[in-house]
Amino acid sequence: MSAISIGQSVVLGAVEGLTEFLPVSSTGHLKIAEGLMGIPVENASVVGFSAVIQVGAIVACILYFFKDLVRIIAAWGRGLVHKEERYHHDYRFAWWVIAATIPIVVVGLAAKPLIDGPLASLWVVAGSLILGSGVMWAADQMGRHKRGEDDTSFKDAMLVGCSQILALLFPGFSRSGATMSTALVLDLDRVAATKVSFFLGIPALTGAGVYELKDALGAGVGAAPLAVGTIVSFLVAYASIAWLMKFVASHSLNSFVVYRIIIGVLLFGLLGTGVLD
């Protein structure tokens, strides 16, 4: 019998798709949803399931930014063949994304027992939601929002890429929240910060999903729940990305900050009263 039912996979796929790219922590929301449905959040197959259905959200991101990604990959390919093309920003940015992904891969593999074990606690999620809110608010206030996507540098990419480690180690902190906050501190405008966050997240999240697939299938989650969760994640994520790109063009991150604090406090309450284990 599958550790996750079809109905549960629909709910979790919707939660993943809605929250993966919003700075509210998809991992945190997934763990809360799993806890409310009585699914053991530290079970290896459940952790694997959560990583695999992220791929649906990543595919949605790839399709939404398809023209941008084709442009960057094409520039990278031309630069590999023609020396004169290597001065193009898109060529260099492609290499920066590759380099900025290495730290999170190394930490993810080295710290996997902690990430799948003690750090998967809902208490950690609650604390990280609130702590991450403070970081997001401060970053939005500090940033001067004066630099666009074409102004990014190798330093920007590495700092933003490394900030993903916070969300990896502390579920609830939010990968997009950490990367967007770092980009804002570096004075990128909110639209550029969001796009850079997306581009840097694609390799890491895709790799995590592929890596965890064997655990999800081998430890008790059937192929059907995985497929359903991934498809739902894709559909909801595409709509979520479209909304977010319009939202950040004219709004601060304060709405997300307030929401995260409310969810974090509520989660502490549910844990403290024993409603959630």
Report the C-alpha gap between 30 and 15 in whole angstroms.
6
Q: What is the pLDDT of residue 28?
A: 82
Q: Residues for the chain: how many in total?
A: 277
Q: What is the pLDDT of residue 177?
A: 94
The residues, ordered by sequence, that sit 6+ positions from 129 with a Cβ below 8 Å of its Cβ are 24, 25, 28, 172, 173, 174, 260, 261, 263, 264, 267
Q: Do the Cβ atoms of 224 and 13 come closer than 8 Å?
A: no
Q: What is the pLDDT of residue 215?
A: 65
> Block means of pLDDT (10 residues each) for the chain, length 277 residues?
83 95 89 85 75 89 95 96 93 96 93 85 92 96 92 95 92 92 96 94 84 65 87 97 95 96 94 86
Q: Do the Cβ atoms of 172 and 120 come closer than 8 Å?
A: no
Q: What is the pLDDT of residue 211?
A: 77
Asked if residue 34 belongs to a domain, the reply is: yes
Asked if residue 184 belongs to a domain, the reply is: yes
Asked if residue 1 belongs to a domain, the reply is: no
Report the C-alpha gap between 230 and 127 in whole angstroms.
28
| Residue 94: φ, ψ to 5° | -60, -45
Report the C-alpha gap between 161 and 120 in whole angstroms.
22
Asked if residue 194 belongs to a domain, the reply is: yes
Q: What is the pLDDT of residue 136?
A: 96
Global pTM exceeds 0.85:
yes
Quote the number of domains for the chain: 1
Q: What is the pLDDT of residue 219?
A: 55
Q: What is the pLDDT of residue 267?
A: 92
Asked if residue 147 belongs to a domain, the reply is: yes
Asked if residue 60 belongs to a domain, the reply is: yes
Asked if residue 41 belongs to a domain, the reply is: yes
Q: What is the pLDDT of residue 273?
A: 92
Q: What is the pLDDT of residue 2?
A: 64
Asked if residue 277 belongs to a domain, the reply is: no
Query: Domain of 245?
Result: 6-272
DSSP for residue 188: B
